[in-house]
Structure 1
Amino acid sequence: MDGLIRRGFLSVARILLMDGNFPGLFGFTQQPFRVDQVRMERKMKWVPVTAVLIAGPAFAQSAELESACTSVARNFFMTETLNVGVVQSFPELKPPGVRFKYSERSDTKKAEMSDTFDCEFDQPNPITKLLRFCVSRTCYSSDQEDGERRRRFEEMQLLMQRGKSARK
């Protein structure tokens, strides 16, 4: 019985101390804590909105497009690894495409990457044909007047086809 009284007393004491109108220990009120709680609740209302805005662009990403474009970039630079930074893919556009920042040096931080690589494909799923790719401001496609650029584009298309047939 003594334990029940003690628990009841502690419960009543907690309720009274948590109420902003009752002076707490040493005559201090609990009001500042209540104000901080209201401020925190106001700030927390923005968390879901912020999360949607930050995560929103990621919902439209296409892993297959991104993988194909990074493969084209690795083949173009003739390297096994490529330091890839921020990647944006646009599967809903006509033609679907990918753009990403990259560095050929492995120690470069994502924020310091300034070179871009772009790819355009005929369709998002399944990818059957590379239409064009650009390294910074230099673009390569089948309709290039420059024979060297057209040849590099044809090489990348051929390497993509070989990669597909090797996976089958």
Structure 2
Amino acid sequence: MYYGIGSGQLVGSSEQIRIPSLTAYGYNAWGGGQAEVDWLGLGGYSPMPGPLSAAAPGTPESAVRSPSEMIAAGDAFVRSRNPTLDAAPSDSEIIAPSAIIGGGYYDTKSPGKKQPSFTAHHGRANRAFVDGHLESEDMRKPFAASDAQLKRWNVDNEPHRNRLGD
């Protein structure tokens, strides 16, 4: 089984994950790395870093070292060590442990934790994991970018702290 590029679901799976375009949900496409280099999320995989290619295969299920510890999808809030960017709504339906890696965020005069979408969610973000379980992340707590937090975004279950962009 493979995760299709950008789909968030297993190719050949009988289960359907409905995430319509332009919704409040995001997909962990790139993990905690850079899309063109690291291949750390579910949007594509290469055993060796290299340029993103149209021929890049989806992430094989076997590449996910710890399915119960890897975030697959969830509410479209990005995390950031920068308090102004932390909990900002993603503008690209990609979620990540960095506002820059996450493909972008809505740039407003108000920090993410002051946005209506954040307060409507009571400061929490639902996260679906590769193994299918759900967790509610308390986004009111500052994002410390600890190893325990960072490794949950990556197929190899490693933190890759050197790849954070903000």
Q: Which has the higher contact order (CA 8 A, sep 6+)?
A: 2
**Greater helix fraction, Structure 1 or Structure 2:** 1
TM-score w.r.t. length of structure 1:
0.23
